[in-house]
A and B are shown apart, each in its own frame.
Chain A
Amino acid sequence: MKELETLSRRRFLQNGSVFFGASALAMFASAESAGLNEPPLIAGKSGLRILNDRPLNAEALPHLLVDAVTPTRHMFIRNNGVPPVGVDPSGWRLNIGGESIIRPLRLSIKDLRSRYQNVSLQLTLECGGNGRAEFDPSVPGNQWTLGAVGCPLWHGVRVRDVLEDAGLKNDAVYLAFHGADTHLSGDPEKEVISRGVPIEKAMADDALIAWGMNDGDLHPMNGHPLRLVVAGWPASASGKWLTGLSVRNQVHDGAKMGGQSYRVPKNPVAPGSVVDDSSMKIIGAMPVKSLLSVPQTGVRHDRGQQLKVSGHAWVGDAQVVSVDLSTDFGQTWQRASLQVPANVGAWQQFSAALVFPAVGYYEIWSRATDSNGLSQPMVLPGWNPKGYLNNACHRVAVHVV
């Protein structure tokens, strides 16, 4: 055990790779030693708030998410199990199969790069549970606040091109992924998470099999060496450490597809309700949302100056058409200027310059509206048992002096 720890530390210090001694040790850990985790430090990441170090879950601090293209270091981490160690990209294989595939394929990353059109797209991924911390009554799971979202530039090939190469049968219903991470209990038979998306979404322009992010490889905690990136759906649909894709002739029934995971009540329920599995449905496209990254909440601002405000707005499978800002708790709103997305599936930047009538305490609220006419609510929308889909408007505090 000591030896393994030292090995992990050496690997962390020398290669700049991730320090996940505690996770790798989970299956050997005795009950006494298990609580004494190594401090959760992640090479190649910074400005993250760690919610859990085993399995590693960490979100970006909202005021650091200023870039239009999210830097790798600020991309959030949601691990469900133990990530693979000693990954060798050249030996990595992706199996394409399932009931509804005509010609199963086994592809190396080199095959992917050489056989299909290479694309680089900025695609937004948000954890389905982003905002869970605001649920009242509270619900189990990592208490994400605001920062489980990001929009890096991803490099890869379209899922569509690979599936068309393998050939789809007429009865194709769902794309399922399989990954190389292992279960927290150490059980080698158990899949950690195997979700996916309906075949229509898998065939869309903004669904990639990606090997790179920004100016490098995928970060080890974001799925190195290969992952799925399906823009605008809960990030749990974008499998990491991707080893297989199955095209199913039914709605996929893999780990975390059924029960209460990534599912919400079919009909709205009163806060605190117990909802039967049979009354739940799978989450589809994520709802419209915005994040004010400038200013940081709690800022002191001189009344004589304009306050420059900026942030991002996004929505799954649609476009943001406007962002409105309020400094009087929603009584009046003013329109921010809004940019078009870099490509379908990318978040959009908004900005404004605000003036304040008097000194005192203000909150800036941001409210985005999408091309379906839907806007962000002011308060937590539809309470649900596992705390998904909180797209309430973002608020930051300003002390005008």
Chain B
Amino acid sequence: MWFRCRLALTLALVACNAVAAQVVPNNELQVGAGDHLVRAHCLVCHSAQLIVQSSLTRTQWLDTIRYMQRKHNLWPLGDQETVILDYLEANYGARYQSSGRRKNLPYYR
């Protein structure tokens, strides 16, 4: 709520010098078991949008965590790693496209 109000206010401030407002992304993590751990560990370096955009298998999520630990200073997650993976798999798991190899085009108008 607080976020939305601020958003609307700032959009209004900007409206005068921007031709078209930028499309603002979804930055909210799904509520679910383990979300507190994801909030605690995963939002320190970047926004939730990198997670929200994803739909990955458990292996891809684990590989992503290992990649960040190898290259980007992500710390060891200990016992919490399993809970985090459970959360990611449940909420941002693999989404296979079912409509053939290319999606139907969305309706804009």
Point out residues on A near B: beta carbons under 8 Å.
13, 16, 22, 26, 29, 31-32, 34-43, 45-55, 58, 61, 64, 73, 134, 136-143, 183-185, 187, 190, 255, 259-260, 274, 296-300, 363, 379-380, 392, 395-397
For B106, list chain A residues within 8 Å (CB). Answer: 297-298
Interface range, B side: 35 or more
For B20, list chain A residues within 8 Å (CB). Answer: 46-47, 64
Point out residues on B near A: beta carbons under 8 Å.
3, 6-7, 10-11, 13-14, 17-25, 27, 29, 39-41, 43-50, 53-57, 59-60, 64, 67, 70-74, 94-97, 101-103, 105-109
B3 & A36 in contact (Cβ 8 Å cutoff): yes
B10 & A46 in contact (Cβ 8 Å cutoff): no
A380 & B43 in contact (Cβ 8 Å cutoff): no
B21 & A259 in contact (Cβ 8 Å cutoff): no
Q: Which 9 A-B pairs have the closest CB atoms?
A: A298-B108, A185-B73, A184-B45, A34-B43, A54-B47, A52-B49, A397-B105, A49-B23, A47-B20
For B11, list chain A residues within 8 Å (CB). Answer: 39, 41
For B18, list chain A residues within 8 Å (CB). Answer: 41, 45-46
How many whole Å from A26's CB to the nearest CB in chain B?
6
Given known contacts A46-B18, A137-B96, A39 and B24 CB-to-CB distance under 8 angstroms = yes
A16 & B47 in contact (Cβ 8 Å cutoff): no
For A187, list chain B residues within 8 Å (CB). Answer: 73
Known: A39-B24, A51-B25, A297-B106. 15 other contacts (CB 8 A): A29-B43, A35-B39, A35-B43, A41-B11, A41-B18, A41-B22, A43-B14, A46-B18, A46-B19, A50-B24, A134-B103, A140-B60, A185-B44, A395-B102, A396-B105
28 residue pairs bridging A and B, Cβ less than 8 Å apart: A35-B27, A38-B10, A39-B7, A39-B10, A40-B24, A41-B11, A41-B22, A43-B14, A45-B22, A48-B23, A52-B50, A54-B47, A58-B22, A61-B23, A138-B55, A138-B56, A141-B50, A142-B53, A143-B54, A184-B46, A185-B74, A259-B71, A297-B108, A298-B106, A298-B107, A363-B105, A379-B101, A395-B105
Instruction: Report which of A51, A58, A274 forms a contact with B59, defined as CB distance below 8 A.
Output: A274
B22 & A137 in contact (Cβ 8 Å cutoff): no
For B25, list chain A residues within 8 Å (CB). Answer: 40, 49-53
How many whole Å from A211's CB to the nearest CB in chain B?
24
